[in-house]
Structure 1
Amino acid sequence: MSDWPILHEYAASGNCYKIRLTAAFLEMPIERREYDIMKGETRTADFLTNVNANGRIPVLQIGDRFLPESNAACFWLADGTHLVPHDRFDRADMLRWMFFEQYNHEPNIATLRFWMRWIGEASFTDLQRALVPAKQEAGKAALALMDEHLARHDWFAGPDLSIADIALYAYTHVAEDSGLFSLGDTPAVQRWIARLEAEPGFVAMAG
């Protein structure tokens, strides 16, 4: 086994991409193992027993220990580096935006991207169809809040790029994939996306 951390992932997932992007900015090598979630490869007995009993990816494997949850994995990679602010308040603010990403942003923007691109409206359940308008409005509200912040700040926590920016970038830059959001409505978000993509070490989602 390699001494590098192992990322158990589905490459098209923004949550998995966060971890790859964090590692790229840190020039930290990671090994990648791909699972096809559409074929149920994270629901096998082997995966549930040996990788994540919750049946989800990403999971970052460090030696013989397994760390689920994308933002926790990003923090493990970035702890003690320039991607985690030194100032105590800024570190807490970084966590605040990462919690926001998982509670207000990802369940709406990422979920609709997955539903529209991978499931397709024709295959929606009645519940999914009923939830789309509320998720669209909540996703727009999340983007608007981000835009308001970014109109006054270059980054989300402190004066520099942090893993809060990486966490929010992952699904924001592909928000239009669902056909239900327009980044043209959030010019400060667009400028932030360009700023992050210009950072040394940046890798695209397909990478």
Structure 2
Amino acid sequence: MKIYGDIQSGNCYKVKLLCSFLEIEHEWVHIDILAGDTEDSDFLAKNPNGKIPMLELADGRCLCESNAILNYLASGSKLLPTDTFELAKVQQWQFFEQYSHEPFIAVARFIAKYLDLPEDRLADYESRQEGGRKALAVMEAQLQNTPYLVGEQLTTADITLYGYTHVAHEGGFDLCSYPAIQAWIDRIASLTKYIGMA
């Protein structure tokens, strides 16, 4: 299988991290979004949405959207619950990430890290801060009660939110105000087979 992505992207990195945890062999195909790689006709033929990451199976089938890829690859493993309510809790956190976390934290990081905080995006960057802090507060409240987002075990919910949370400071978010999140980040980083973003 092939995974198309940019390891510095939280959405791509979380797929790479899951593959490491589960020892899933794959070929990593680097995609440079700033160079227009996602607008290439061959890439668009496989993924008309033109976004990364993208998973391409040996039979040619393709799967997009990072959280869908995570759950597909984790199916049958300890990272994805089989209990229907626990599975729904995982998905609840994944929807939270896409709608309440990523639009603020990931976008602020993109503006600062990838675009070098240009003057014409400063207002946009600043507008993301309040929403990002709100998302972190929601995570902090849960992680004060359980070591992982869905209880006692690491799941794809944690990998989903770890991707951009552990580099939130690159988007202007000071994690010192969130000790439970900091402990959770350290907990994940200490796991066997963990790999960093660099």
Q: TM-score range by the shorter chain?
A: over 0.9
Q: Evaluate the alpha carbon distance shift between residue 142 and residue 197 of structure 1 in structure 2; reply closer, same or farther with a 3 A threshold.
A: same
Deviation at 1:137, TM superposition (A): 0.2
What's the CA shift string for 1:73-107, capped at 9, x where partnerless?
Answer: 01110011000123221111000001101111111
CA distance in 2, matches of 1:52, 1:183: 35
Q: Is the 8 A contact 2:47 2:62 kept in 1?
A: yes
Q: Scaled by the length of structure 2, what TM-score is found?
A: 0.95
Aligned length in residues? 197
Q: Evaluate the alpha carbon distance shift between residue 123 and residue 10 of structure 1 in structure 2; reply closer, same or farther with a 3 A threshold.
A: farther
CA distance in 1, matches of 2:173, 2:97: 16
In the alignment, structure 1 residue 194 sits paired with structure 2 residue 176: no
Equivalent of residue 98 in structure 1, options 68, 73, 94? 94
Corresponding residue of 2:136: 143
Deviation at 1:29, TM superposition (A): 1.0
Q: Scaled by the length of structure 1, what TM-score is found?
A: 0.91
Unmatched 5+ residue regions in structure 2?
none
The one-letter amino acid of 1:156's match is L
Q: Secondary structure, in 3 states, of the residue corresponding to 2:131?
A: helix
| CA root-mean-square deviation | 1.2
Q: For 1:1-207, list aligned pairs within 5 A.
A: 5-49=1-45, 51-63=46-58, 64-122=60-118, 124=120, 128-178=121-171, 180-206=172-198
Q: Is the 8 A contact 1:8 1:60 kept in 2?
A: yes
Unmatched 5+ residue regions in structure 1?
none
CA distance in 2, matches of 1:57, 1:18: 12
Percent pairwise identity: 42
Deviation at 1:25, TM superposition (A): 0.7
Q: Is the 8 A contact 1:85 1:158 kept in 2?
A: no
CA distance in 2, matches of 1:27, 1:153: 26
CA distance in 2, matches of 1:85, 1:162: 8
